[in-house]
Structure formats: C-alpha cells, structure tokens
Amino acid sequence: MKITQIRIYPFNIPLKAPITISLGTIEHARNILIEIQTDESITGWGEGSPFWMIVGETQASGLAAAEDMARLLIGQNPLDIEGCLTILTRYLPGHPTTRSAFDMALYDIAAKAAGMPLYQFLGGSKRTLVTDETIYINTPERMAEDAVRIYKNGAQAIKIKLGTTLKADIDRLYAIEKALMELGDDSRDYYKVPYRIDANQGWDYVTASAVLYQTRFIDHQFQYCEQPVRKQDLHHLAKLKSEGNVPIMADESLFDATDAIRLVREEAVDYFNIKLSKSGGIFEALNINAIGEAAGIPCMIGCMSESRLALTANAHFASARQNVRFYDLDGCFEHALDPIYGGITYNGYQITLPDTPGIGAEVDAAFLAQSERKTIA
C-alpha cells in the first residue's frame, strides 16, 4: 500500500463562549485536519489541536509544517507507522500537534486495512469510559454556577481550572463548595463527586503549596492537581507530591517518553496526563503509558479543543490500555457545532466507542466544502 495524496485543512470550529485557563484565552478551536489517501482506496483522518500556550504551535505554523510533512510521506507505506513517523520527526523535530494529526490518520488507515476498530487494532478491548467536565477560569460566582450545572447533569467528577492568585483561587474553591452544599436534598451526596484541579503551571511553589493545603478544609475528595508549577520545575513537583495534600499529575511536564522517564526518575508525580495532540500521537502515547505502567503510575487521557474525530481516537487509545484510569474528554462540549459523523457518543458523561473499522469517525463533507485546503500528491 502507498500514500498517493494528502489533503490539509484548517479546521475551524466556533466555541459557545471564550474559554480561559491560567496561560491564556481561546475564542475558536483552530485545529488542523489531515486526510491521507492510498492506492488501495483507504482514507485515513487525523486531527490536531494546537494550544499555542502549551505546545508552542499555532494553526498557521502547523499548516505550514504539515505541507512539508505531507511531501515526505507521498509514496510511503502507511502501514509502516513507525517508519513514517521517524521520517517526520527526523526532518522536523518538535511540532507534536501537527505530527499527531498524521499519526492519527496513519492509525486510522492501518486499523481499516485490518478490518478492526482502533481499540482492537491496538490490542485492547472496548471499555466504558466516563469523562469529567471542566469549569474554566471565571469569577467565583460564575464558576460556582457552572459547578451546580455540571453536578445536576450527573457528572461523576468535576474539573476546576485554577492557577491565578492564592486568594482568588481559594475563593473559587470555597464558592464552588458552598454552592454544591446549598443544593439541599438531592439524589446524590454532593461530596461524593470528586474535584480535579488544574493550574496549568500558573502557581509558584509557595502558592501551590498553600492552595493545596487549603483543600484539607473542604469536605470533598480532590483526586489530583494537574501541573501546579512550571513544567521544568520537577523539584517542586516532587516536593508538592511529598507533602501529600493532593496527588500530583504531570501535564505540561510530559510531552514524550523521555519526559516520562525523567518524571519517574525524580519521583515527581503520582499520575501522567497523556494528550495525543501533546505527545505527537498514538505511537508516542503508547510509549508514555508503558513507562507509567512499569513505574506504577496510572495515566489519564486528556484533550485540548478537539472535535469528536480526535476525541474518538483518544477514547480508542484509552479503552485499549488498562493503565489509563482517568478520562478528560470533554473538549467538544464547548463547541458551538459538531461537524463529525460517527465517532464516540455521549450518554450524559458516559462515552461509547464505535465498532466500525478504524477510528470510526469522519468529517461532514458539507462542512469541509467551506474550508480552504492544500492538496499534496
């Protein structure tokens, strides 16, 4: 089998409202879409979501890099996934989000050629996944309203974005706790829905330690805190882990397997957050998870602002690996429209995977007809 043509699309999806984390605000999902065609009439789809403040890529830089990457893959065997990715990495190191879109499309082709859904092609089974839902940075009052809405919708975990100042973030936590406590009689005990907090590198060590200590006085389980300090500050990640107030999860400190080995060696974190758009795709995500599993570190599958196309690929990966214990696949909840056919379905927060060969998701042709494209053949 040979790759004969690759199409590259800017994949722009409007958001319901701007979303803010400690590193910045985005107003649109400006993603990258890759369509790989072969001489055996098998087409693979891949998507990357370049969160510039995390991965150092923009849609514009990714689209430019994608043209060079596409030219390198014309004529290659798409079933040689490692070989294709090695070509891309050697020519253009970095650009993990752009590379992840090609990686995803290659796995889509390989699983379709094998006649298997992607989770089965990866050697796993179909599992029930339950995602959390994220509350983005806002006023304490607005974040409390979001928490009540998410809780009433039946969430089994609530993710809270923090990472500003000590007082502001503590005010946010207490406002959320107070609002849930005041719900009164309900079919569930509010304190049994755990919190997951994510600072996105927003704190220094002193602030992180103080905020995490305050969680002792909130009648709630805090499952973990993602990336409380700067990504290179492994010393303080390890110190926060040793303090034992809240388990620590690596996000921006973890891009690839080399980072995973470093985090294990430093005994810096309790958990790994794997995102395909951050790791460069499924191939490297498998390596990261294997290191975590060998070291006794469970993993979470996370997301940026992907459509259900990439979220479906993320879910296949998570389903195929038992060491992936947490699921944060709510990126499409913020999208104002859904341009995807097939793919994962949500029953509340429960995710069901498709059983069709490959990823099992494709992009609406009418939506693509309105988009620019670059064809490499």
290/323 Cα distance (integer angstroms): 8
Nearest to 252 by CA among 271, 280, 226: 226
Q: Which domains does the chain have, with CATH numbers?
A: 3-115+364-376 (3.30.390.10), 121-362 (3.20.20.120)
Residues 282-309: pLDDT tens digits?
999 999 999 999 999 999 999 999 999 9
**Residue 226's beta-bridge partner residues?**
198, 249
Q: For 137-151, what is each residue's pLDDT tens digit?
A: 999 999 999 999 999
* Tens-place pLDDT, residues 99-131: 999 999 999 999 999 999 999 999 999 999 999
In what side-by-side order are the strands of the sheet with 129-130?
A: 129-130, 350-352, 345-347
Q: Kindly state the DSSP code that residue 136 receives in the 8-state scheme.
A: P
Query: Cα(first)–Cα(last) distance of the chain, in Å?
Result: 15
Rounded Cα–Cα distance for residues 293 and 305 (Å): 27
Angle at alpha carbon of residue 34, lines to 17 and 251, rounded to 5°: 55
Residue 20 clears pLDDT 70, i.e. is over it: yes
Long-range pairs of 231-240 with CB within 8 A, sequence gap ≥ 24: 231/201, 233/205, 234/262, 234/263, 234/266, 234/268, 235/266, 236/205, 236/208, 237/263, 237/266, 237/268, 237/269, 238/266, 238/267, 238/268, 238/269, 239/205, 239/209, 240/205, 240/208, 240/209, 240/212
How many angstroms separate the CA atoms of 251 and 300, rounded? Answer: 10
C-beta of residue 371 within 8 angstroms of C-beta of residue 12: yes
Confidence of residue 185 (pLDDT cuts 50, 70, 90): low
Q: What is the pTM of this model?
A: 0.96
3-state secondary structure of 243: helix
Across the chain, how many H-helices and E-strands are there? 14, 17
Task: Output the pLDDT for position 229.
Answer: 98
Average pLDDT along the chain: 96
User: What is the pLDDT at residue 187?
Assistant: 62
Q: What is the pLDDT of residue 189?
A: 80
Residue 23's pLDDT is 87
Q: What is the pLDDT of residue 53?
A: 84
Q: What is the pLDDT of residue 7?
A: 98
Pairing of the two strands 158-161 and 195-198: parallel
The catalytic site residues sit at 161, 198, 226, 251, 275
Distance (Å, whole) CA 145 – CA 157 = 16
Asked whether the predicted pLDDT for residue 13 surpasses 80, the reply is yes
Looking at residue 255, its pLDDT comes to 97
Query: Mind spelling out the 3-state secondary structure of 257-272?
Result: HHHHHHHHHCCCCCEE
pLDDT of residue 239: 98
**Angstrom distance (rounded) from CA 324 to CA 298:** 6
Cα–chain center distance at 108: 18
**Residue 169, pLDDT score:** 98
pLDDT of residue 282: 98
Instruction: Give me the percent of the chain exceeding a pLDDT of 70.
Output: 99
CB 225 within 8 A of CB 247: yes
Q: Is the pLDDT of residue 192 over 90?
A: no
pLDDT digits (tens, 9 = 90+) for 147-184: 999 999 999 999 999 999 999 999 999 999 999 999 87
Count other Cβ atoms within 10 Å, centred on residue 75.
Answer: 10
pLDDT at 243 over 70: yes
By CB neighbour count within 10 A (0-12 exposed, 13-18 middle, 19+ buried), where does 138 fall? middle
Backbone angles phi, psi at 351, to 5 degrees: -105, 130
- At 257-288, the pLDDT tens digits run 999 999 999 999 999 999 999 999 999 999 99
Is 313's pLDDT higher than 80? yes
CB-based contact 353:126 (threshold 8 Å): yes
pLDDT bracket for residue 186 (50, 70, 90): low
With a pLDDT cut of 90, the percent of the chain lying above it is 92
Question: Residue 24 is which amino acid?
Answer: G
pLDDT at 211 over 90: yes
Please list, residue by residue across 210-231, b when 16 or more beta carbons sit within 10 angstroms of its beta carbon and e when fewer do: ebbeebeebebebbbbbbbbbb
Percent of the chain as helix, strand, coil, to the nearest 5 = 40, 25, 35
Q: Which amino acid is at 297?
A: I
Task: State the Cα–Cα distance between residues 133 and 155, nearest whole angstrom.
Answer: 7
Q: Crossing angle, helix 81-91 and helix 59-73, to 10 degrees?
A: 120
* Overall average pLDDT of the 193-219 stretch: 96
How does pLDDT run across 49-60, given as a tens digit for each residue? Answer: 998 889 999 999
Residue 335 forms beta bridges with which residues?
15
